[in-house]
Amino acid sequence: TYNQEYFISGDNAQLTFSIMNSTDEDISANCILYIDEELIEENNLILKHKSSNTLKFNYIVKDVAPEIGEDDVKIKFVVNSDKYSDAISLSLPVKERYLTVDTERTILSKGETVIAFEGNEYGTMTITADINDVLLESIVYLLKYPYGCVEQTMSTWLPVIAAKNLDNILTVDMKNKISTYNEEALERLYGYQHYDGGWGWWKNDSTSSFMTAYVMFGFYLADMAGIELNNDVVESGIRRLGYMMNDNRDPFVQYVYTLYNDGSNLAIQKYDGDLASVALTVLALKNVGKRQEAVQFIEKAWDFIKFDDNNLEVTQSDSFSYFFESDLSLLMFFKAINELDYDEELVVRIGQEILNRNNGGRWDRTITTCLAVIELSDFSKNVAKEKIKFSVSDSSGLIDNGYLNNSTSVKIEISPTLESPISVSTDGNAFIVVNSKAKYPLDFVEPLNNDMTVTRFFRKEVEISSRNALVEKTVPQINSPYVIGQLEKIELEENQEIPIITRTEYDGMMLHIDDNELCLGKYRLGWKSSNIELIGKISKSEFLLKHELYSDRVEYIRLSLTENKPLEVGDLIIAESKLKLDKDVRYFIFEEPVPSGALYIDEYRIQDNIGHFYNKHSSFFYQHGYSHIEPQYEKVSYFWYYPSDRVIRTAYRLIATGKYVIPPSKVWGMYDEESFGTSDSTILEVQDRK
């Protein structure tokens, strides 16, 4: 079989099967296609000996309801004859035909609260007096298949660790998923460890003191949660931390090292430049048995925490590390005073402030959410002890009512059938947690942006057949009505005259040069060169260009246009996305979808007019701090350390006829998911190659 690796609901795809008759006789065969165990098509044919046949079937991909999100399709192709038989069976994922935007809200409510929903939202609304139910929502949201760099892998593994603290309220399905994700994450982290025992962001970069401490901190939390670890990997990491205590010590490295080495003779360096530094130093002192010094050092924290009536504010300039922003710094301070059994009233107040910063069952960063789950899972006893009466209703009437306590909660399914707004009434403090997904049909989706903008169009590779062509290929936009058919240098004899029409119009569109690229109206023609001047039109479809060379030399180029062809199987497509970042977001991710009827091409190169080649990453590889690409069957993920506007090109080969939707490309901040942008969606129609 030569089929796709996945489908999108509603696509018009093609299934292709190759049958090889390796026997010495012709065979009369019966070929049957089953989809989800239903007979779709049956053909009889003669298979010639020592030869092959190819059968193709059109397939309208089945619908996947928006509340489901993803399904799978089972495909079976059977060939039978009197003497021989063979079959192939596939199970492929089917993605929903929607763009999903997550929405999270947490409300600490008493009395009546009115909550409105859009007509395209799906999800749950949980009403509870138990903070563990709130924290569980964060785990459900954050559980994802491990991928990306070490930091991304940690962001998918930490929820697994945190979930162990909620084991008594997890479903069997969630426990199975957690077990799978734990194995995958550990395998990735073990594989990313460097020869010196430390970790960087990737397998082959330099070892980072922060990343090493971060992974080892995760290993410590995992060990406390009862997750089995590879002792050799952990011991090697401890040794690397020991070297870093001499050469690259900082508050985080020092704290993590004391988790593994609690010797009282270990000299603790005291850091007080920000709240995170103070909290980590206090924890390190406690770990090595210097409890009294730890209690005394807590006083340094009041330089960074201000109480104003019922409000608490963390006042600090930049932390010693981008990682320890306000919420995480406050959480580490909560961890320190809680472990020291410090002032109980202060512990409760700081804990309540951390809860108040919760949004939709989670905090701004994965690490903060997961540590909050670990540290606050027993905190609900300070929120509610008595039964709370509640009622839920919409415009059609009462939905549910009853009583809440620390062991009961109510979950309402959110869907378009729910008549918004919803009214929730309680006679005591209760949490209302909304976790929903807004669904936008891909065929009609418009770009979304919040501090980030993505603009995308598509090119295809077009060969120039002329023997004397300056270039072998161009990469025009796929929807351009015309492409370059000829591009060759011409020799002008002395005193030779060529009639020229200076108005460079063709079929109602003006030929012009933009950013050194030849364009026709709004379409880019995929040939780019510097020092090019468009002289004019020399025939109905031919134009003259002048190219200025070094030493005052010039050359003349004749260009002709020809009609563009429809997309065909085998064409190479380049998705070109322009990112504009309006906010300084460090560490961000860009994802470019690959349509189901295509195959990603690694390291594609584009040729310019003078024979030079530039890598597809040329515009952003070195100067913009480009770090890593990770291709998957349905998308290609790009990672950067530092923000800047850039152009990203992703290439793939069309492998099947059909009509395929390409979901929007999207960009977001790794630690600032409120900053994001998406492009529009596109539909590609692909024909058989002629």
pLDDT along the chain (690 residues), means of 10: 85 93 94 95 93 92 90 95 93 93 74 87 84 66 63 78 73 81 88 91 84 92 90 94 88 92 83 90 92 92 80 74 83 88 79 71 70 66 65 90 79 87 86 85 90 95 80 92 90 72 89 92 90 88 86 84 95 93 81 93 52 33 53 87 81 94 90 83 93
Q: Tell me the residue ranges of DSSP E strands in 3-96.
A: 7-8, 12-21, 27-35, 38-47, 51-60, 70-80, 85-95
Report the alpha-carbon distance of residue 222 to residue 176 in Å, rounded.
Answer: 17
661 contacts 682 by C-beta, under 8 angstroms: yes
Q: Which distant-in-sequence residues (6+ apart) come within 8 Å of 672 by Cβ? A: 364, 583, 585
DSSP string, 414-475: E-TTS-S-EEEEEEEEEEEEEEEEEEEEGGGPPPEEEBEEEEEEEEE-EE---TTBS-SEE-
Cβ atoms of 474 and 527 within 8 Å: the answer is yes
Query: CB within 8 A of 251, min separation 6: which ones?
Result: 271, 276, 277, 280, 281, 284, 320
Q: Compute the distance between CA of residue 472 and CA of residue 463 in angstroms, rounded to an integer.
A: 6
Q: What is 131-382's CATH number?
A: 1.50.10.20
State the Cα angle at 326 between 325 and 330, rounded to 5°: 115
Kindly tell me the burial class for residue 263, based on how many C-beta atoms sit within 10 Å of its own C-beta (0-12, 13-18, 19 or more): exposed
Q: Where are the strands (E) in 515-645, listed by range? A: 517-520, 523-528, 532-537, 542-548, 554-563, 572-581, 588-593, 598-601, 605-607, 613-615, 626-632, 635-640
CB-based contact 606:616 (threshold 8 Å): yes
Name the amino acid, one letter, at 662.
I
For 152, residues 6+ apart whose C-beta sits below 8 A from its C-beta are 146, 589, 639, 670
Identity of the amino acid at 39: L
CB 368 within 8 A of CB 359: no
Structural contact between residues 421 and 121, judged by C-beta atoms closer than 8 angstroms = no
Report how far residue 153's alpha carbon sits from residue 187's, in angstroms, rounded to the nearest whole number.
10
Is the Cβ–Cβ distance between 442 and 98 less than 8 Å?
Answer: yes
pLDDT (0 to 100) of residue 135: 67
Q: Where in the chain is the domain with CATH 2.60.40.10?
A: 7-96
DSSP secondary structure letter of residue 164: G
CA dihedral 321, 326, 329, 331 (to 10 degrees): -150
pLDDT of residue 139: 64
The rounded distance, in Å, linking the Cα atoms of 234 and 217 is 11
369's CB contacts (< 8 A; 6+ apart) are: 138, 142, 159, 162, 362, 363
Q: 346 in helix, strand or coil?
A: helix
Write the DSSP symbol of residue 261: -
Which CATH number is associated with domain 98-130+386-444? Answer: 2.60.120.1540
Closest CA relative to residue 106, chosen from 115, 119, 97, 94: 115
**Are residues 212 and 198 in contact, defined by beta-carbon separation less than 8 angstroms?**
yes
Round to whole Å and give the CA distance between 295 and 302: 13
Spatial strand order in the sheet of 572-581: 452-460, 572-581, 646-654, 598-601
Q: What is the dihedral of CA 181, 186, 187, 188, to 10 degrees?
A: 90
Alpha-carbon gap, residue 74 to 88, rounded angstroms: 11
In this structure, are residues 438 and 420 in contact, taking their beta carbons and an 8 Å threshold?
Answer: no
CB 96 within 8 A of CB 64: yes
CATH 2.60.40.690 domain position(s) in the chain = 446-458+568-686
| CB atoms closer than 10 angstroms to residue 14 | 21
**Pair 480, 488: CB distance under 8 Å:** no
Domain 7-96 has CATH 3.30.830.10: no
Classify domain 446-458+568-686 at the CATH superfamily level.
Alpha-macroglobulin, receptor-binding domain (2.60.40.690)
Q: Are 686 and 658 in contact (CB under 8 A)?
A: yes
Q: Which two tokens mark 46?
A: 């003669």
**In contact, 416 and 120? CB cutoff 8 Å:** yes
For 82, phi and psi rounded to 5 degrees? -65, -35
Q: Which is it for strands 572-581 and 409-414: parallel, antiparallel or unpaired? A: unpaired
* Site of tokens 């039964």: 387
Rg for the chain (alpha carbons), in Å?
A: 31
The segment(s) of the chain belonging to CATH 2.60.120.1540 are 98-130+386-444
Class of residue 4 by CB neighbours under 10 A (exposed 0-12, middle 13-18, buried 19+): buried
Pull the structure tokens for residue 543. 């134009």
Strands 613-615, 532-537: pairing is: unpaired
Where b means 16+ CB within 10 Å and e means fewer, 365-389 reads: bbbbbbbbbbbbbebbeebbeeebe
Beta strands in 299-441 (DSSP E): 305-308, 311-314, 388-394, 397-404, 409-414, 422-441
373, two tokens: 């789950």
> Based on the number of CB atoms within 10 Å of its own CB, is 653 exposed (0-12), middle (13-18) or buried (19 or more)?
middle
Question: Does residue 537 contact residue 503 with C-beta atoms inside 8 Å?
Answer: yes
CATH 1.50.10.20 in the chain: give the residue spans.
131-382
Strands (DSSP E) contained in 84-171 are 85-95, 98-115, 121-128
